[in-house]
Amino acid sequence: MVFAGAVSLASGSLAVGSLREFLRQRTSFDPVDVEAPTSLIVSGPNRLSRNPMYVGMAGLLVSQAILRRSTIAVLPVAAFVLVIDRLQIPAEESALGAKFGADYSRYRRSVPRWLGRSSLKGFGREAS
């Protein structure tokens, strides 16, 4: 139960931290309108993942699976990640690439889609 709580806390912090960056930079975080963002967010949790809100949501699903102590409870996590990774993220990446060009290409090469080590050399708090 402690491990599930830790996963939930870390996941929630990642998602909320990312949302805070979007609000701070006054840009859209609406997943339906992929062309709405006015800023390329590369600070905060977006230094660790290009999609920290989705990582956070997946982590919250993982914490539920841990609490349920059931391997079948992992199926919603797998379904969520599959759908987001194959349908939603490619649409967002295409729109961001069209809007932010070389800045987005550099960011995409430097930061993993899901989670990993960041190497954002040359980026400030915001690239546009």
Tens-place pLDDT, residues 14-25: 999 999 999 999
Residue type, 66: I
Token pair listed for 51: 């999609």
What's the whole-model pTM score?
0.84
Domain ranges of the chain: 1-124
- Distance between CA 36 and CA 117 in Å, rounded? 28
- pLDDT > 90? residue 123: no
- Distance between CA 106 and CA 54 in Å, rounded? 21
- Asked if residue 110 lies in contact with residue 47, where contact means CB atoms within 8 angstroms, the answer is no
From 26, 55, 41, 57, select the one nearest 96 (Cα to Cα): 41
Tens-place pLDDT, residues 45-102: 999 999 999 999 999 999 999 988 888 988 999 999 999 999 999 999 999 999 999 9
